Amino acid sequence: MRITVIGTGYLGAVHAAGMAQLGHDVLGVDVDAFKIQQLSSGHAPFFEPGLPELLRQNISAGRLKFSTSLKDAAEFGDVHFICVGTPQRPGSTAADMKYVDAVVQGLVPNLSRPCLIVGKSTVPVGTAARLATMVAELSPVAQVEVAWNPEFLREGFAVNDTLHPDRLVVGVTSPEADATLREVYAGILDAGTPYISTDVATAELVKVSANAFLATKISFINAISEICEAVGADILPLATALGHDARIGNRFLAPGLGFGGGCLPKDIRAFLARAEELGIGESLTFLRNIDAININRRQNAVDLARGMLGGSLENRRIAVLGAAFKPNSDDVRDSPALSVAAALQSHGAHVRVHDPEAVENARGAYPHLNYTTEVDKVFEGAELTLHLTEWQEYRQLDPAHLSTLVTAPCILDARNTLDIDHWRAAGWTVRAMGRPGR
Ligand code: UDX
């Protein structure tokens, strides 16, 4: 099939390469000429394990091309996937739909034959219906349908999640659109992947409900973590014990600094904003608490750091491990790690941040912080170290060696993934969020 993927960010670039891998002829489209140039030469514009290989393989097979032109897209595709961002609207908690709308306004007047437009972006419920009206007004041809097919990929695992998803969800308004999407995903459906075909509003809601549930799970365990801190109990065995209950499950129950990134935080806010617009905000107000518990973790980390330094952050040298919002990503959007680092700096601390992949993006977002990509450098002279993003390589650090570099062997594990007994045995004073101090 001839498929276009419009928007080549964290979602679209992987989706384009994934569709080509399934054997389709794919045109990826973006307004960012530099990004298109990078992708055309087989370079991923962001860090995503496995993506460069997938791009190169499919570009050389002749199945994957890129363009900046929506006119090219209109001519090329029988199925057009919309993968542009829906960030938080400035000054509001609602989603900003300007990029999605711009795609429809730029694509549809150029269409010359029937096709299927499939939204993948995370949107307020009702968007597909609204876009269908817009399409009917703008399209020079009839038989252009709007479907919704939410994406559940996780950054860092995006290639695997695209090619081997847990489930496929499609919202359609005709059997023909359903048949087209089954054909698009035939390679995945052959593997027995669950396929849920429903109406467009339900498909839109599946995505925001999934993100709201995941965020709730994380904030739930973090709220319990605060109770643990208050009474000297230990959140890790508690979470393990909860997770053994098959009805609860152990995933997304990792206590620590909480969630960030370009999806969960803004998606729960936009979900609540949409519910309020619909007059049923009352039922979803718990999402405001989920958000508040999450943001509060960052303040808790700053308070713990201040306490570990004897009550003042002024002129103290602090090493921060991690800048990305989570490991295996260079994405720093709403990064809890950088938010804490910036808060410490604003209280007068001298902060140096290490990250294996995200330093360049971090520098763009927080230019006033100091950065290094050498792990030994971040420890040099530090009076306190904060472990804020749980990169695998931090688990392999040698605390005995690092204690020779720091001014004080003192660490806060805000992600609960370090072997704190090992660090303590090497002479470090260790605090971990939600775990008893010593
Ligand atoms: C998320 C959803 O998982 C995905 O389905 C959706 O499409 C987009 O949003 P992503 O933002 O890539 O994906 O990250 P994810 O791996 O889900 O983690 C989200 C955040 O939660 C990260 O900041 C992570 O550190 C945090 N997290 C996750 C926890 O704090 N504790 C956990 O137990 C799990």
Q: Give the pLDDT confidence score for residue 181 in this predicted structure.
A: 98
325-350 per-position pLDDT tens digit: 999 999 999 999 999 999 999 999 99
DSSP label at 26?
E
Ligand 1 atom 31, closest CA? 254
81-119 per-position pLDDT tens digit: 999 999 999 999 999 999 999 999 999 999 999 999 999
For residues 87, 90, 96, 100, the Cα torsion angle rounded to the nearest 10 degrees is -80
Catalytic site residue 410?
A: no
CATH topology agreement for domains 2-197 and 199-438: yes
Cβ(359)–Cβ(386) below 8 Å: no
Q: Ligand 1, from 160, 167, 213, 214: best to mutate by most atoms within 8 Å of Cβ? A: 214
Mean pLDDT of 185-193: 97
Mean pLDDT of 49-74: 98
DSSP H or E run through 294:
helix 286-308
Q: How far apart are CA 162 and CA 151, in angstroms?
A: 8
Cβ(100)–Cβ(86) below 8 Å: yes
258 pocket-lining for ligand 1 (C-beta < 6 Å): yes
Q: Label residue 295 by pLDDT band (50, 70, 90).
A: very high
Q: Label residue 11 by pLDDT band (50, 70, 90).
A: very high
Q: How far apart are CA 305 and CA 257, in angstroms?
A: 13
261 pocket-lining for ligand 1 (C-beta < 6 Å): yes
Tokens of 13: 């670039």
Q: Give the pLDDT confidence score for residue 437 in this predicted structure.
A: 86
Q: How far apart are CA 155 and CA 14, in angstroms?
A: 10
Please, what is the average pLDDT of the chain? 98
Choosing from 83, 228, 263, 410, the catalytic residue is 263
252 Cα nearest atom in ligand 1: 33
Ligand 1 atom 14, closest CA? 154
pLDDT at 438 over 80: no
DSSP label at 284?
G
Q: Label residue 237 by pLDDT band (50, 70, 90).
A: very high
φ, ψ (nearest 5 deg) of residue 27: -120, 120
Buried/exposed code over 85-112 (b: 16+ C-beta within 10 A; e: otherwise):
bbebbeeebbbbbebbeebbebbbebbe
130-171 per-position pLDDT tens digit: 999 999 999 999 999 999 999 999 999 999 999 999 999 999
Identify which has the larger pLDDT, 437 or 295.
295
Q: What is the CATH architecture of 199-438?
A: 3-Layer(aba) Sandwich (3.40)
Q: Give the pLDDT confidence score for residue 192 in this predicted structure.
A: 97
382-437 per-position pLDDT tens digit: 999 999 999 999 999 999 999 999 999 999 999 999 999 999 999 999 999 999 98
251 Cα nearest atom in ligand 1: 33
Tokens of 341: 């680092």
3-class SS of residue 313: coil
Query: What percent of the chain has pLDDT above 90?
Result: 100
Q: Give the pLDDT confidence score for residue 1 in this predicted structure.
A: 97
CATH 3.40.50.720 fits domain 2-197: yes
DSSP H or E run through 148:
strand 144-148
3-class SS of residue 128: helix
Tokens of 173: 């308004």
389 Cα nearest atom in ligand 1: 25
Interstrand relation of 115-119 and 2-6 (parallel, antiparallel or unpaired): unpaired
Q: How far apart are CA 8 and CA 120, in angstroms?
A: 12
Determine the distance separating the centroid of ligand 1 and the alpha carbon of 218, expressed in angstroms.
9
Q: Give the pLDDT confidence score for residue 267 in this predicted structure.
A: 98
Q: How far apart are CA 271 and CA 269, in angstroms?
A: 5
326 pocket-lining for ligand 1 (C-beta < 6 Å): yes
Cβ(208)–Cβ(290) below 8 Å: no
pLDDT at 210 over 80: yes
Interstrand relation of 195-198 and 64-67 (parallel, antiparallel or unpaired): unpaired
Determine the distance separating the centroid of ligand 1 and the alpha carbon of 327, expressed in angstroms.
10
Sequence spans of domains, the chain: 2-197, 199-438
Q: How far apart are CA 91 and CA 383, in angstroms?
A: 38
Ligand 1 atom 22, closest CA? 259
